[in-house]
Amino acid sequence: MPIEIKVPEMGESIVEATVTRWLKKEGDPVAVGDVLLELETEKVSLEVGSENAGVLSSIVRQAGQDVHVGEVIGVIEDRAPAAEKPKSADAAPAKHAAPPAEKTHKIAEPAPEIPTKPEGPGVAARPAAHPAAQPAIRPPEAPPAPTPAQPSTLSTPSTPSIPSTPSTPAEPTENFERVRMSRRRRTIARNLVEAQHTAAMLTTFNEVDMFAVMDLRRRHKEGFKQRHGVGLGIASFFVKAVVGALKTFPEFNAEIQGEDILTKHFYDIGVAMDTADGLVVPVLRAADRMSFAGIEQAIKQYAERAAAGLLTLEDLRGGCFTITNGGVFGSLFSTPILNLPQVGILGLHRIEERPIALGGQVVIHPMMYVALSYDHRVVDGRQAVEFLKFIKETIEDPGALLLEE
């Protein structure tokens, strides 16, 4: 009996996906646990395995089509279909192969007409046989005017327009490629537009002297890596600084629900990462209880899994606040867009040595511009400036963070 393959529950209010590709084709045998197809959701890609053995008899939804949870996308026959009968049925007509061959030859007789057609569009095939017909028709329309000025006035614009018409549409067709947006790219686009249309989004800026952090990393990087098996990056410093800022300014650890403001008393920090399929934001759970080593190890694992396409929905669920680092691509300055329903996002940028005034002297220090985008519906400008100033002061004096370990 036929067994329907349905789109499984995908959690986190995800109700729609796109069929990426089928790994089995119609007629293929299927064992329990075999991966039948891949689905792409707005957050991750999923593999759909078979819960029954049999033969994939029908594929209902093809690659590239959108599907919904519970929708039938294929059918498995729980027993092997009687393949011998169709084969024997096909074999019978084979004895009378001659009649079909005659029909084929009869149909093929008009084929010589095809090469005689011009290579241009089919509609233009007939006029193309008389290319001079159109220019020749227009001068006769002008005889009522005795002066030669009228024919010359009409022929001047008509002469260049006729040869240019066929060449103009032919060129663009070779210079464009139309590719459908992936589901993740469509989701990213929708979320970014929604953030700009929904939130009263503003951005405030500051610059951070990274000298103390860079010096600390230089002095402790070898011992840190030997003890923990991971390098000491700048991300852990900013995660720690953000947690401290969220505790000091709880309005940043909130979201709007209807006409209410929901303030959270936990600290799940999202860390934006770029992948071949688009931006993802895995979440560091309870970041306030994580050590520097724990943060660095978690970020490294997330990065490896993101590159391999192995992130799960649980990895991306929720989040109180997001940190994004355009500096890894060389960005010096940017305004990050909110990751709704969060009300704040911190943008890091390239560290660049610049002259600054310090203690009455000009010195060269590694400097970084930082940007804080926030939802003005929840956060006031003064609070945003003080939040970012807290980040700046914490990074410039990282010893205070180490004392909290």
315 noted as active-site residue: no
* Whether the predicted pLDDT of 47 surpasses 70: yes
Residue 227 belongs to domain spanning? 193-403
* Whether the predicted pLDDT of 129 surpasses 90: no
Domain's final residue, options 77, 111, 139: 77
Q: Is residue 182 one of the residues assigned to a domain? A: no
Instruction: Count CB atoms within 10 A of the CB of residue 8.
Output: 14
Provide the pLDDT confidence category of residue 139 given band limits of 50, 70 and 90: low
Strands (E), 253-320: 254-257, 260-263, 269-271, 273-275, 278-280, 283-284
Of 158-167, 298-307, 348-357, 375-384, the one with minimum mean pLDDT is 158-167
Q: What is the DSSP string of 9-60?
A: P-STT--EEEEEEESS-TT-EE-TT-EEEEEE-SS-EEEEE-SS-EEEEEE-
CB-based burial of residue 258 (10 Å sphere; 0-12 exposed, 13-18 middle, 19+ buried)? exposed
Provide the pLDDT confidence category of residue 2 given band limits of 50, 70 and 90: confident
The enclosing domain of 35 has a CATH number of 2.40.50.100
Take residue 164 and report the two structure tokens written for it. 């240019």
Mean pLDDT of all residues belonging to the chain: 80
Domain's final residue, options 53, 77, 101: 77
Residue 249 contacts residue 386 (beta carbons within 8 Å): yes
Residue whose structure tokens are 């007939």: 126
Provide the pLDDT confidence category of residue 188 given band limits of 50, 70 and 90: confident
Q: Are strands 321-325 and 344-348 parallel, antiparallel or unpaired?
A: parallel
Of 80-94, 127-141, 154-168, 277-291, the one with minimum mean pLDDT is 127-141
Q: Is residue 69 one of the residues assigned to a domain? A: yes
Active-site residue (options: 28, 78, 215, 376): 376
Same domain, 202 and 60: no
pLDDT value of residue 46: 82
Take residue 333 and report the two structure tokens written for it. 């300055």
pLDDT value of residue 229: 94
Q: Is residue 202 one of the residues assigned to a domain? A: yes
Residue whose structure tokens are 């403001």: 261
18-29 CB burial, b ≥16 within 10 A, e <16: bbbebebeeeee
Cβ-based neighbours of 157, under 8 Å, separated by 6 or more: none
- The number of domains in the chain is 2
Take residue 297 and report the two structure tokens written for it. 């190890």
380 noted as active-site residue: yes
The enclosing domain of 361 has a CATH number of 3.30.559.10
Of the candidates 193, 191, 194, 245, which has an alpha carbon nearest to the alpha carbon of residue 400?
Answer: 245
Same domain, 215 and 358: yes
Q: Is residue 188 one of the residues assigned to a domain? A: no
CA distance 288 to 286: 5
**Is the bond leading into 341 cis (omega within 30 degrees of zero)?**
yes
Q: What is the DSSP string of 147-172?
A: STHHHHHHHHHHHHHHHHHHHHHHTG
Summarised one tens digit per residue, pLDDT across range 245-284 is 999 999 999 999 999 999 999 999 999 998 887 889 999 9
